[in-house]
Every structure is written in structure tokens, then in C-alpha cells.
Amino acid sequence: MGQILIKGRFILLALVLMFFVSACEKEVVRTEKAEKTTPVKTTENKVSTNEKIKIGFSMDTLLEERWIKDRDLFKEAVEALGAEVEIMAANGDDALQISQAETLISQGIDLLILVPHNAESTATIVHKAHLAGIKVIAYDRLVKNADIDLYVSFDNEQVGEMQARAITKLVPKGNYVYIGGASTDNNAHLIKKGAFNVLKPLIDKGDITIVYDQWTKDWEPANALANMREALKANGNQIDAVIAANDATAGGVIQALMEQGLAGIVPVTGQDAELAAAQRIVEGTQSMTVYKPIKSLTTKAAQLAVALAKGETVGEYQKVNNGKIEVPSVLLSPIAVDLLNIDDTIIADGFHSRKDVYQTMNK
Ligand code: BGC
């Protein structure tokens, strides 16, 4: 009877234990599932196990010369820091940029760096990255109305000021055309603001009249060409100077001027120090460009991206308001380039070779 009682107790104990173990297993399965549905990032393990930090780079476009440099130099800089980068470009398509960013986020990146095509709609990307515990850096272009973690760019207002200063020196009085960038890009607004900081007193004095002022959809040369043709037509070719926001739009503007026999007569500005623009400067059809040493930008952005991804604090920076918050920002200085300093700037830096810049002159 006593033995039966002891056996019975054992059986009971074994049953209790079995129940307990199976409950624990269920708990493990439940937490694993929960982690899968809300993958919130923590990089602490990666840092301690020396696993590579992975950066996601979501780009608007690769259709312009500068962005290819940005892509290649950024990759180089990230890899030099022992991290890796996954790059996607959306070719100016907002929906595609959002879905590419979602793909990067789901691939387990530690930080997202973003060149927004559309300053407003990319706020949703920032929100989604944050939900997954991933910090976001706005690269070159600001994301508006979002809790962006950091903004790294050149001083775009200064770019516009440089363009207007250079051209008002050449043409202090007369009819001006303003060919802006893409209105969806915050930089286009900052560049225009900078240009008008310089132009306004001259407009108020009556020295300068803005006879045409238009944004250029997606910064495309074909759209700038169409706008410039319209400007020439509407003013019977009575135009003395053109401020084009970048070299791509300057290319379209100069083509329109060429059609009227005015290329090289009407000064035109630009930005980016693209090879074609540097060649136009030495040929005399473009007056200036604004050189932004891309390598300084990619080096700085890569350092900050890897540091933030590792959870390090990155110091105190100046603040830029994006409509929602004061974004900690690093703004590098652009350089105005014309025929006088082209050799000492973009050629001396190896941004373009002397041979390439003067190539069309030696034909
Ligand atoms: C950049 C310029 C570029 C333009 C068109 C701007 O946001 O700052 O360098 O030319 O986009 O791609």
C-alpha cells in the first residue's frame, strides 16, 4: 500500500514536471514569434561580437554624374571603416524609393542613409525605420516633417548666394531668368533663397528684373530646355543673364540659348562641377559652377553613419529646422568655380583631369 502511494507521488511529480517543461517551450515559441513580427534593432551584440555593421543607402537617382560619385565614394568610405553598405536607387520614383527602403529595413540594416527624391513623402520611410529601431541620416537633401536623426550636406543657401554673386558681377543690371531645381527637393528651395538674398536689393533698386522664374521638374535638362525656350519666346530673346540651379539644368538652358545664337553671350550659372559643365566653362558657354567636393561629404557621412549605427553619440551639431524638429546637421562649404580658378580647384583636387576638362578645346 505504502509502495503504491510512493509510486503515485512520483507519477504526479513527473506529470507536473512535464506540464511545466511544455509550458516553457510554448513560451519560447511565443517570444520567438513576437520577435519576428516586430524586429526592433539592437546593435550591441554586433558591436561586441565584431559582426559587420550594415548600412542601407537609399538614393533618389543615379542619372546624374554626381550621384555616381556619391555612390562609389560612400561605399569606399563605409568599407574603409570595416562596415558594409547595401545601395538602392529609385530613379525619381517616390513609391519605388519607399518600397526599396522597406526592403533595406527588412534586410536587417543597422542604419539607413537617405537621399530623398521627395522631401515630404520620404517622411514615411523615417517613421518605418524608427519603428524597426533603425536610425536615419538625410544625405545631401533634407527630409521634411520627420524625426530625422542627422542631416549631412553642403550649405545649399550658400550655393545660391555664390551663383547670384558671380552672375551679378558679370551682369549688374538687366533681365534675369531663374531656372530653379525640382520643387520637391528642399535643396532647390534653399538654393533659390540664397540666390534671392543677393538679388533682392538689386531687384528693389530696379537694376534687375526677373522676367521668368520656374522650377524644373526632377532637375531634368529636357525640362529646363523647354522652360528656357519659353522664357526666350516670351521675352523676344531680351534676356541678359540666367541663374540655373545646377549643371544639368544649365545644360538645357545653354542648348536653348544656342538655338537662338545666344550661347556664350548670355551668362549662365550652374552647380556640381560636372565634367560637361567644366568643359562649357573653358569653352565660354557657362560662366560658373559650384564645386562641392563629394569626397568630403561621403567621408563625413560614412563616419557618422557607422558611429550612429554602433550606438555611439556623435557630438553637438548646428540645427536645421525641417518643419517638425531641429535636426542636428553638418553643412560643408561649397566653392565657386569659374575660368579663373578651375585649374586650382576641381582640376587640382583630381575631381576631373585637366585633359578631360580641356578635351573639347583641343579638338
Ligand atoms: C543636389 C545637387 C544636384 C541636384 C539634382 C540637389 O539636391 O544638391 O547637387 O545637382 O539635387 O540631382
Tell me the pLDDT band of 361, cut-offs 50, 70 and 90.
confident
pLDDT at 279 over 80: yes
pLDDT of 36 > 60? The answer is no
pLDDT value of position 316: 82
The answer to whether residue 215 scores a pLDDT higher than 70 is yes
Collapse the DSSP code of 138 into the 3-class scheme (helix H, G, I; strand E, B; otherwise coil) and give the result. Answer: strand
Q: Report the mean per-residue pLDDT for the chain.
A: 90
Closest C-alpha residue for ligand 1 atom 5? 219
pLDDT for 83 equals: 98
- Give long-range contacts, CB 8 A cutoff, 24+ apart: 49-52: 52/82, 52/83, 52/84
Phi-psi label, residue 90: left if phi above 0, alpha if psi -120 to 50, beta otherwise:
alpha
Residue nearest to atom 10 of ligand 1 (CA): 246
% pLDDT > 70, the chain: 86
Instruction: Please state, in angstroms and as integers, the Cα–Cα distance from residue 337 to each residue in 66, 133, 281, 347, 356, following that order.
Output: 16, 42, 9, 11, 16
CA 283 to ligand 1 centroid distance, Å: 24
Residue 141 Cα: closest atom of ligand 1: 7
Q: Amino acid letter at 80?
A: A
Q: Is the dihedral of CA 181, 183, 184, 187 positive or negative?
A: positive
**Given this model, what pLDDT does residue 290 score?**
98
Q: Indicate which atom in ligand 1 lies nearest the CA of residue 272.
A: 9
Give me the pLDDT at residue 198, please. Answer: 98
- Which residue minimizes the CA distance to atom 6 of ligand 1? 187
Mean pLDDT, rounded, for 260-270: 98
Q: How many CB atoms lie within 10 A of CB 17?
A: 10
- Confidence class for position 313, pLDDT limits 50, 70, 90: confident
Banded pLDDT at 362 (limits 50, 70, 90): low
Query: In this predicted model, what pLDDT tens digit does every residue of 105-117 receive, in sequence order?
Result: 999 999 999 999 9
Q: What is the SS3 assignment for 170? A: helix
Mean pLDDT of 24-48: 43
Atom of ligand 1 at shortest distance to CA of 245?
Answer: 10
pLDDT tens track for 18-28 = 444 444 333 33
Cell of 216: 524644373
Residue range 62-80, pLDDT digits in tens: 999 999 999 999 999 999 9
pLDDT over 90 (residue 164):
yes
Q: Provide the b/e sequence for 144-180 (b: ≥16 CB within 10 Å).
A: bebebbbbbbbbbbbbbbbbbbbbbeebeeebbbbbb
Please check the confidence at residue 266 and state whether its pLDDT lies above 50: yes
Cα 186 to averaged position of ligand 1 atoms, centre (Å): 10
Residue 47 pLDDT > 80, yes or no?
Answer: no
Q: What average pLDDT score do residues 205-228 get?
A: 98
Cell 519576428: give the residue.
36
Query: How far apart are alpha carbons 138 and 146 in whole angstroms?
Result: 10
List, chain by chain if needed, residues with CB within 6 Å of any ligand 1 atom: 64, 66, 140-141, 181, 185, 187, 219, 246, 271-272
Q: Residue 42 — pLDDT band, cuts 50, 70, 90?
A: low
Q: Which atom of ligand 1 is nearest to the CA of 185?
A: 7
Instruction: Answer for the pair 113, 55: CB distance below 8 angstroms, yes or no.
Output: yes
Angle at 95 between CA 92 and CA 99, to 5 degrees: 110
Give the span between the Cα atoms of 263 and 175, in whole angstroms.
Answer: 16
* pLDDT of the residue at 315: 82
For 29-36, the CB contacts below 8 A with 24+ separation are none
Place of cell 522652360: 227
Q: Residue type at 299?
A: T
Is the predicted pLDDT of residue 284 greater than 50, yes or no?
Answer: yes
Of 117-126, 161-170, 218-227, 352-361, the poorest mean pLDDT is in 352-361
Residue 5 has pLDDT above 90, yes or no: no
Sorting pLDDT into bands at 50, 70 and 90, what band is 314?
A: confident
Q: What is the pLDDT of residue 43?
A: 58
CA distance 331 to 319: 10
Residue of higher predicted confidence among 91 and 26: 91
- Distance from the first to the final alpha carbon of the chain: 114
Asked whether residue 303 carries a pLDDT value surpassing 80, the answer given is yes
